[in-house]
């Protein structure tokens, strides 16, 4: 069906709908369904979280899961893990898994991917997001969406926009300058819309420049609809709509919420009444319905036949997510080539740390997954080593106990003060708990004293990487630093594995540990994959999609900007319907852009990641391609003894500039696989966009003519070659 035919069909259907039916379609009629119109065979839109797989089944009006045995799914690596692969083909593969399983479970829309910028390492939802860098996000989100939508379902990219913290997430206003908005916070969404053709976008909870995102004309109207020509569906985050008239007159299409009073949603009965009283024009509703119908036509929701059926829990899906997890694990440090460990020589192995045994799938908030299975590191290692190695486990530390919740967190998640309980619980320390931790630590240290091979598997869990809560500090919880330090004293070759969704401070022991491995939540095959990396079956090839600073206070958002914001005055509160405001004075200086410009030392830099083999880079040349793009060409050779993958990164900078700008910015990358001794030519294309900045006066991305530096690098700090070129 071409565009004209589609619009004709939409017009026809809209013409047949009554006002009541139209209003039914534009708000939730169940926690994860919009309203249907049986008379005209218009189905409801069945939605499901989330970014790491298709969430379990919920009743229409209850946050207590149905609890059947038929909604177990493939648990995919988190978006941070996908970003750590730096591999668009793998992003596409996860997309395929998500899309097939969404359809396989009978849904129409998956509420993901989440692509907000990681502005502060405090954000409890950072594990759901990809990176601090807009280019990396843009390159990965497009294939991810394409993979999803291939299965006749819609991807709903979230959370548009500036949802960069969980503190006061429903009531925080973001003040941001136009350049930072355009250069840092919007490009991922723009790529998702313009290149990925996402069928849906989720409006964020927070406010932008004094207006709630889901009612925000500037964001949804001027930018998303007019500039980017987005004609898909805009869905609100659950309870992000606050005012009937403002929402109705904004480009938002579907209001969703966490409460069960569906008929009383802002865009339900109150809207019907407003239209009848003449306060809101019915044409606003027609437009929303048209967008919903267009979204339905694309994944064939209105066809009697021909729509893909999907599938879930297939062996192919498990294989795909395993592959992604393999490329997502990052080797941060490997002195004396401590890793990989040799299975035949490992007669005894001591594994320390609660994270060796903890399963993470069913945590984190709306991204939770009812996984078909999840292999813990302990199980992965044991199953890979078999019976010839004696594996001992010592927990080493324990988490703080939590009370069984009376209601599902999401049911009350939007109520005042609802999201404080976990924070208090996770940080609680009692004399008894301290004693327990001390005993666990002593046990681990004693065992480590007499064991040649020790692996510590620690980090965070979903008490910290969790929706609704931010962290106050990057320090490891549960006295883990003390544990790691003491173990390293008696077992200096102990390998440290950090499993976490957000940077952590490793400063107390980082220099003492010889080997450090970083793992984001990497799905159901995590334990098998980690074992493969530790024992050399898999050569690590992940690179950091974000900087790991020393501590929270070091980051640009806190040094230059504000976080988590200041309380509004009574007058402001009334005017904006918000509680706090946060000014992004850090502007474009987010992540490495800040650390590099302000010369702040970090634990591990953006783009860093080692391998069990070694690579050399050949000479770099820059040539003109057709259409004025530049090709940066060089060769990479595997000079080690095992096959491996290297991600070459191209950064662009301009030392002499009239514009305030970062030292350099990522503008291209490529991952290559090389057998030992093999050499490959790599060519990375830079379009004009790679040289632009956002000119606030011109209201456009422009190029400042002059000399630019092109950096070919292994990571931000490890530059191989710099070439200067003139650009006009
Ligand atoms: C989250 C969304 C999620 C929605 C539905 C909200 O709390 O912010 O990301 O998709 O709930 O579960």
Q: Is the pLDDT of residue 429 over 90?
A: no
DSSP annotation of 251: S
Average pLDDT value for the chain: 97
Query: What is the pLDDT, as a whole number, of residue 427?
Result: 87
Query: What is the pLDDT, as a whole number, of residue 403?
Result: 84
Query: Candidates 162, 169, 172, 238: which one to mutate for ligand 1, based on the most atoms within 8 Å of Cβ?
Result: 238
- Report CA Rg, the chain: 26
Burial (CB < 10 A; 0-12, 13-18, 19+), residue 146, is buried
Query: What is the pLDDT, as a whole number, of residue 274?
Result: 98
Q: What is the pLDDT of residues 527-567, one digit of tens each?
A: 999 999 999 999 999 999 999 999 999 999 999 999 999 99
* Residue 142, SS3 per DSSP: helix
Note if 689 is an active site residue.
Answer: no
Q: Which residue, among 370, 320, 368, has the nearest Cα to 95 in the 3D structure?
A: 320
Q: Is the pLDDT of residue 42 over 90?
A: yes
With both helix axes pointing from N to C terminus, report the angle between 134-149 and 187-194 in degrees, rounded to the nearest 10.
30
Distance 240 CA to ligand 1 centre (A): 10
Query: What is the pLDDT, as a whole number, of residue 421?
Result: 81
Residues 619, 524: Cα–Cα separation, whole Å: 41
Q: DSSP labels for 409-469?
A: GGGGTTSTTGGGHHHHHHH---HHHHHHHHHHHHHHHHHHHT-S-EEEEEE--TTTS-TT-
Query: Candidates 33, 49, 170, 204: which one to mutate for ligand 1, based on the most atoms within 8 Å of Cβ?
Result: 49
CA dihedral (520, 522, 526, 529) positive or negative: negative
Contacts of 454 (CB under 8 A, 6+ apart): 349, 350, 351, 352, 448, 487, 491, 493, 494, 495
Which of ligand 1's atoms lies nearest the C-alpha of 169?
Answer: 8
Q: Which of 29, 108, 237, 463 is catalytic?
A: 237
The Cα-based distances of 216 to 157, 177, 209, 288, 552 in angstroms read: 17, 16, 9, 15, 31
Q: In this structure, which residue's CA is closest to atom 12 in ligand 1?
A: 366
Q: Is the pLDDT of residue 424 over 90?
A: no
Distance 32 CA to ligand 1 centre (A): 10
Q: What is the pLDDT of residues 318-332, one digit of tens each?
A: 999 999 999 999 999
Torsional class of 378: left (φ above 0), alpha (ψ -120 to 50), beta (otherwise): alpha
Tell me what percent of the residues of the chain surpass a pLDDT of 70: 100
Which of ligand 1's atoms lies nearest the C-alpha of 413?
Answer: 7
Contacts of 331 (CB under 8 A, 6+ apart): 339, 515, 516, 517, 518, 533, 540, 542, 609, 610, 611, 612
Across 472-489, average pLDDT: 98
Query: What is the pLDDT, as a whole number, of residue 77?
Result: 98
Distance 590 CA to ligand 1 centre (A): 25
Q: In this structure, which residue's CA is closest to atom 11 in ligand 1?
A: 238
Q: What is the pLDDT of residues 380-405, one digit of tens each?
A: 999 999 999 999 999 999 999 988 88
Q: In this structure, which residue's CA is closest to atom 3 in ligand 1?
A: 366
Q: What is the pLDDT of residues 222-236, one digit of tens each?
A: 999 999 999 999 999
Q: Is the pLDDT of residue 214 over 90?
A: yes
Which of ligand 1's atoms lies nearest the C-alpha of 128?
Answer: 9
Residues 141, 326: Cα–Cα separation, whole Å: 19
Residues 633, 631: Cα–Cα separation, whole Å: 6
Residues 201, 198: Cα–Cα separation, whole Å: 7
- Global pTM? 0.98
Contacts of 348 (CB under 8 A, 6+ apart): 389, 390, 392, 451, 452, 453
Query: What is the pLDDT, as a whole number, of residue 45?
Result: 98
Distance 381 CA to ligand 1 centre (A): 34
Residues 632, 386: Cα–Cα separation, whole Å: 47
Which of ligand 1's atoms lies nearest the C-alpha of 163?
Answer: 8
* Residue 667, SS3 per DSSP: strand
Q: Number of H helices and number of E strands within the chain?
A: 19, 30
Q: In this structure, which residue's CA is closest to atom 8 in ligand 1?
A: 237
Q: Is the pLDDT of residue 47 over 80?
A: yes
Q: In this structure, which residue's CA is closest to atom 6 in ligand 1?
A: 238
Tell me what percent of the residues of the chain surpass a pLDDT of 90: 95
Across 286-311, average pLDDT: 97
Ligand 1 residue neighbourhood (C-beta within 6 Å): 49-50, 111, 158, 237-238, 366, 413
Query: What is the pLDDT, as a whole number, of residue 402?
Result: 86
Query: What is the pLDDT, as a whole number, of residue 661?
Result: 98
Query: What is the pLDDT, as a whole number, of residue 428?
Result: 86
Residues 75, 71: Cα–Cα separation, whole Å: 12
Q: What is the pLDDT of residues 635-687, one digit of tens each?
A: 999 999 999 999 999 999 999 999 999 999 999 999 999 999 999 999 999 99
Query: What is the pLDDT, as a whole number, of residue 406?
Result: 79
């Amino acid at each position: 069906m071409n565009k004209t035919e589609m619009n004709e069909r939409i017009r026809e259907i809209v013409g047949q709908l009554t006002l009541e039916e139209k209003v039914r379609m534009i708000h939730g009629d169940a926690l994860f369904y919009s309203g249907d119109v049986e008379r005209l065979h218009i189905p409801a839109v069945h939605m499901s979280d989330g970014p790491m797989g298709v969430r379990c089944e919920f009743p229409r009006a209850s946050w207590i899961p149905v609890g059947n045995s038929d909604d177990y799914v493939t648990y995919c690596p988190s978006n941070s893990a996908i970003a750590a692969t730096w591999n668009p083909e793998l992003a596409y593969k996860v997309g395929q898994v998500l899309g097939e399983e969404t359809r396989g479970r009978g849904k129409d829309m998956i509420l993901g991917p989440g692509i907000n910028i990681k502005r502060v390492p405090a954000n409890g939802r950072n594990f759901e997001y990809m990176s601090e860098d807009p280019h990396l996000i843009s390159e990965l989100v497009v294939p991810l969406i394409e993979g999803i939508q291939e299965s006749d379902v819609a991807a709903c990219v979230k959370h548009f926009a500036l949802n960069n913290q969980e503190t006061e997430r429903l009531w925080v206003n973001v003040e941001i300058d136009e350049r930072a908005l355009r250069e840092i916070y919007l490009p991922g969404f723009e790529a998702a819309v313009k290149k990925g053709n996402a069928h849906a976008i989720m409006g964020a909870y927070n406010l932008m420049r004094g207006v709630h995102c889901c009612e925000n004309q500037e964001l949804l109207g001027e930018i998303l609809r007019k500039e980017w020509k987005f004609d898909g569906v805009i869905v609100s985050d659950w309870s992000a709509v606050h005012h009937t008239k403002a929402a109705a007159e904004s480009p938002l299409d579907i209001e969703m919420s966490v409460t069960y009073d569906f008929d009383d949603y802002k865009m339900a009965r109150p809207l019907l009444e407003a239209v009848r009283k003449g306060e809101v024009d019915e044409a606003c509703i027609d437009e929303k319905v048209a967008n919903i119908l267009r979204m339905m036509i694309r994944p064939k929701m209105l066809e009697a036949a021909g729509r893909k059926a999907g599938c879930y829990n297939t062996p192919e899906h498990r294989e795909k997510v395993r592959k992604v997890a393999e490329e997502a694990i990052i080797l941060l440090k490997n002195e004396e080539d401590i890793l990989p460990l040799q299975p035949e020589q490992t007669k005894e192995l001591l594994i320390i740390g609660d994270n060796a045994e903890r399963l993470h799938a069913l945590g984190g908030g709306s991204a939770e997954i009812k996984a078909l299975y999840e292999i813990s590191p302990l199980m992965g290692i044991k199953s890979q080593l078999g019976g010839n190695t004696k594996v001992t486990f010592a927990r080493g530390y324990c988490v703080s106990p939590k009370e069984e919740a009376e209601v599902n967190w999401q049911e009350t998640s939007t109520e005042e003060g609802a999201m404080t309980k976990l924070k208090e619980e996770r940080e609680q320390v009692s004399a008894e708990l301290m004693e327990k931790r001390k005993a666990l630590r002593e046990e681990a240290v004693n065992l480590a004293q007499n064991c040649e091979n020790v692996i510590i598997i620690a980090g965070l869990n979903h008490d910290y990487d969790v929706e609704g809560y931010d962290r106050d500090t990057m320090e490891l919880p549960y006295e883990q630093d003390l544990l790691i330090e003491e173990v390293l004293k008696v077992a200096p070759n102990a390998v440290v594995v950090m499993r976490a969704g957000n940077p952590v401070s490793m400063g107390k022991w980082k220099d003492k540990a010889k080997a450090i491995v970083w793992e984001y939540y990497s799905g159901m095959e995590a334990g098998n994959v980690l074992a493969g990396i530790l024992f050399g079956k898999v050569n690590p090839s992940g690179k950091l999609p974000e900087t790991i600073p020393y501590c929270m206070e070091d980051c640009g958002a806190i040094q230059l900007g504000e976080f988590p914001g200041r309380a509004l005055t009574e007058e402001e509160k009334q005017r904006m319907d918000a509680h706090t405001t946060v000014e992004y004075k850090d502007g474009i200086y987010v992540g490495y852009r800040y650390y590099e410009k302000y010369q702040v030392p970090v634990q591990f830099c953006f783009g860093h990641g080692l391998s069990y083999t070694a690579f050399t880079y050949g000479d770099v040349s820059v040539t003109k391609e057709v259409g004025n793009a530049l090709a940066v060409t060089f060769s990479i050779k595997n000079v080690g003894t095992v096959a491996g993958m290297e991600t070459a990164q191209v950064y662009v900078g301009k030392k002499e500039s009239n514009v305030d700008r970062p030292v350099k910015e990522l503008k291209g990358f490529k991952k290559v696989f090389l057998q030992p001794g093999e050499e490959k030519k790599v060519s990375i294309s830079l379009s004009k966009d790679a040289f632009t900045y956002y000119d606030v006066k011109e209201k456009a991305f422009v190029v400042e003519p002059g000399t630019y530096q092109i950096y070919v690098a292994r990571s931000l700090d490890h530059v191989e070659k710099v070439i200067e070129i003139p650009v006009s």
